[in-house]
Chain A
Amino acid sequence: MSSILGTSLSGLMSAQRSLETTSHNIANVNTEGYSRQSVDLRTRPASFTGAGYIGQGVDARTVTRSYDQFVTAQFTSSTSVYGETNTLSTLSSQVDAILSSDKTGIAPAFNAFFNAVSEVADDPSSVPVRQVMLSEADSLAQQLNTTSGQLEGFRNQNNNEMQSMINDINSYAKGIAELNDKVMVETSMATSGQIPNDLLDQRDALVAKLAERVNVTTLDQTDGSQTVFIGNGQALVLNGKASNLSLASSVTDMTHKDILINGQKITSQISGGSLAGSMRFRDEVLDPAQQQFGLLAAGFAVAFNDLHKTGFDLNGDPGQDLFGLGTPTMAVPVIPNPKNIGTATAVYDPATVGQLAPSDYSLAFDGSDFTLTRLSDNTVSTFSGPAPTTIAAPGFTIDTDGAVAAGDSFLIRPTFFAAKNIQALVTDPKQVAAAGTGAPGDPVPGDNTVARGLAELEKTQIMVGGKSTFSDVYSQLVSKVGTLTSAANKQSEAHKVLLNQAILTRDNLSGVNLDEEAGNLIKFQNSYQASSKAIAVANSLFDSLLAAVR
């Protein structure tokens, strides 16, 4: 009879455990990363009697979570890939939108300017018409500045976002390390394979958040801890220790950030997640767009100035640079390595403006030869030293002074800053050099030869090796960004489907189904009631026995 009571009590207790677990499941129906739990019931060892083995009831051995390592790994990697493509697509769409908009569009500004030049060709002696041309020149330069400023804004925003992603990654890594500590303690205390389910779920949720930012791989250790790797196997979390990620600026460009782990550069090894998306946006969309945009501004200013300077203005003086790209007017930005001994300068070369490429260049001196590398595709050309020397680069010439020593290097950016720096220099309408002839003090006001030539520049194929007009350079930029954005959008959509598939698979396994829990509730309630009934029966049996001996 006592065994009836014991057996019934064990049933009562297990039903109670199961009911607790079921209500825990119901409570966590909307908890992110929660895996539904179930009580692992096991029959108690039977006691042997002459009549055979008599059952002793049930034990609630442990509580397990519905979890599959493969499914979770699939979810983690899908999260990373989607994070990357989604970030790339979101950021690219912004650039796509500003380049496509009619209001911010550069094409209308170019059209208006060249139409104004054409009006000067029609009426070369009219000062108001020249004034219109100068106003259009100014507004074109400002339009280029504005759009370049917007691109610059995206760069700053992207850098800030990368910093906040790095902060997130560091904080998640710390969280995982702390959970590792707790799990290791719990695991060491477990006597019969009990698992700290909720801690594991929390840790998995943090890994998933980490995966949104950067691609991670995980390895479960026997002590219950999880090692988390990023990049090419750099340990981000090892046992209870988290490494620190940080951003660092390049020596020649404050706005170009590299990613360091414990001080070691791992930029090129980062893949997946919004961090990789941000870096791909910078390297594949933003930088090329800014270079191409600068190519347009630089090529336009150089070619226009070159022809304008062959003309004569309304005072009979030779034409000046109408547009400036820096200080001095036609200087190419050269950023020296801080350790350099010598210096170098560069200016645009109108004769080779068609060879100007949308890229930065690096110039290095090894003591005898100069090496000029085009950074967009790493094309190398060599020029023999020693310094001082003049190097004819595509679209510009570089002058080095005699002090340049072995090991000196320079970053040359002919196109990167051009759209930011371009400005209209001439303010006196009389100084528009429309005439092809003239002498100081003896102007030829009706001469429109140079103005006509300037108006013709609009449809002259000057750029990209004499194959593209200015408008072509711009439409190439727009269609390139459009193509990249469209590809990123499609990829992002495709990976969203894959991610949803992974979430579906994981949630179908681990997620809570309320109907199922309702069924379980009834099932365990019934079993609780049945066990209670069995206790009542045991009680009445006992009462019968007592009554018999009274």
Chain B
Amino acid sequence: MRISTSWANQSNINGIVEQQSKLNKLQVKLAVNKKIVTAADDPAGAARSIDLNQTLKQTDQYQNNIIVARQRLSLSDGVVQNVVDVLQKINDLGIQGLNDSNSPSDRVAIAVEMESLNTHLLGLANTRNANGEYMFSGFKTDTPAFSQSAVQGGYDYNGDQNQRNIQISTDRHVTDGDLGVAVFGVPNGAPNPAGSNSNIFEAIDRLAQDMRNNTPSQLSLKDISTAFDNVQTIQSSIGVRLNALDIQENSNANYTVDMKTVLSQTEDLDYADAISQFNLQTTVLQAAQQSYSQVKKMSLFNYI
């Protein structure tokens, strides 16, 4: 077979160019540490990598949400612990005041302390979180949860009955706080007789009033104890939720690790394989260049 001189030259050059282009593709992959540089390298893998990245980013967001929920619940936990402490104090004062050895003036002094503690408690119920939101008002976070009603000794709840949920995984969410009425009881708006108070502030107000009037009722202690039980239930519920956040955070973290492994398998380069291919490719390119220069030297014209 006769070979045309220009084609012999061209086919050599073509070979070198092709080897260079393969080498370049490998270099790009090595440089970015990806086996999928564009979707054409592996269309299905590229689509999977988009989905995995989306899942990862979403899971990151759930982890952020968990941090937000934890902050709020921890704050709430602290406030509720304070409420428990104050209630304990009031309970002690109540027991002390009911003792008949107290003089009317002693009881007035106790009443004053109780009233001051009640104001503190009201302050706790109207605590704001880091964003300035009233924590116990439901969705109406711009309104203090409780205020004194028009009737002396009565209180009003100004929040609503909705509780905010925060998404912490694809199909799991937690409430980031509790309603004021759940923690402090539903107010009547007016004073009630001792023993029939469902709201902490009204109960304490009634006890303080009775104390001031030197007619404290044993029944008030029942009111306080009911409120105590109520707050403790909430406290344990917060604990359960904080625990759930920890569990979910772990599970999200594990999921992230799994997804990252799959993602890495999908798009990351196998360096050992790539380097050995790279070496092979450079050898092939060298061989093509050497054979070109050798063949180019050979011509009959050199001898005539």
Which residues does A use to contact B, with CB under 8 Å? 29-30, 36, 92-93, 96-97, 99-101, 107-108, 110-112, 114-115, 118-119, 121-126, 435, 437, 443-449, 452, 455-456, 458-459, 471-472, 474-476, 478-483, 485-486, 489, 500, 503-504, 507-508, 510-516, 518-519, 521-522
Does A444 contact B46, Cβ atoms closer than 8 Å?
no
Residues of B within 8 A of A122 (CB): 64-65, 68-69, 166
Least Cβ distance of B76 to chain A in Å?
A: 14
Q: At the interface, yes or no: B218 with Cβ under 8 Å from chain A?
A: no
Question: Which 8 A-B pairs give the minimum distances between C-beta atoms?
Answer: A511-B4, A482-B39, A446-B141, A482-B43, A518-B300, A479-B47, A447-B139, A485-B40
List B residues 57-113 near A (Cβ within 8 Å): 57-58, 60-61, 64-65, 68-69
- Beyond contacts A475-B51, A500-B11: 20 other A-B pairs, Cβ-Cβ < 8 A, are A100-B37, A114-B61, A119-B64, A122-B64, A435-B139, A445-B142, A478-B46, A479-B39, A479-B46, A481-B39, A482-B38, A482-B39, A482-B40, A485-B39, A485-B40, A511-B3, A511-B5, A511-B7, A515-B5, A518-B304
- Quick check: A111 and B137 within 8 Å, CB to CB? no
The CA of A510 and the CA of B4, in the complex, are separated in Å by 8
Q: Which residues of B contact A107 (CB under 8 A)?
A: 50, 53-54
Contact with A along B285-304 (1 / 0, CB 8 A): 00000000000000111001
**Pairwise interchain contact B4-A507, C-beta atoms closer than 8 A:** yes
A94 to chain B, nearest CB (A): 10
CA of A452 to CA of B131, assembled, Å:
18
Q: Does B138 contact A (CB under 8 A)?
A: yes
Residues of B within 8 A of A36 (CB): 4
B50 with A471: CB separation less than 8 A: yes
CB proximity of A171 to chain B, nearest CB, Å: 26
The reply to whether the CB of B165 lies closer than 8 angstroms to some CB of chain A is: yes
Instruction: Establish whether residues B46 and A118, one from each chain, have CB atoms under 8 Å apart when the complex forms.
Output: no
A446 in contact with B4 (CB, 8 Å): no
Distance (Å) between the CB of A494 and the closest chain B CB?
Answer: 14
Output the nearest chain B residue to A118 by Cβ-Cβ distance. B61
Whether A508 pairs with B7 at a CB distance below 8 angstroms is yes
- CB <8 Å contact, B39 and A478: yes
Distance of B304 from chain A, by nearest CB (Å): 6
In the assembled complex, the CB of B48 is this many whole angstroms from the nearest CB of chain A, namely 8
- B277 adjacent to chain A (CB < 8 Å): no
B167 within 8 A of A: yes
CB atoms of A514 and B167 under 8 A apart? no
Does residue B133 face the partner (Cβ distance < 8 Å to A)? yes
**Residues of chain B contacted by A435 (CB below 8 angstroms):** 139
| CA gap between A92 and B133 in the complex, in Å | 53
Residue of B6, B53, B54 near A30 (CB, 8 A) is B6
With CB as the reference atom, state the residue of chain B lying closest to A438. Answer: B139
* A/B interface sample: 25 pairs, CB < 8 A: A29-B5, A99-B39, A100-B46, A119-B61, A121-B65, A122-B64, A125-B133, A126-B131, A435-B139, A444-B162, A447-B164, A452-B165, A471-B50, A472-B51, A475-B51, A478-B43, A481-B39, A485-B39, A507-B6, A507-B7, A508-B1, A508-B2, A511-B3, A512-B6, A519-B300
Which chain B residue has the least Cβ–Cβ distance from A490? B40
A458 touches B6 (CB 8 A): no
- The residue on B at minimum CB distance from A447 is B139
Which A residues lie within 8 Å of B170 (CB)?
A: 459
Query: A41: shortest Cβ distance to chain B, in Å?
Result: 20
Q: Is the CB of B5 within 8 A of A446?
A: no
CA distance A459 to B37 in the complex (A): 26
A433 to B: closest C-beta gap in Å: 14
Please give, as numbers and ranges, the residues of chain B lying within 8 Å of A511 by CB-CB distance.
3-7
Q: Is the CB of B41 within 8 A of A486?
A: yes
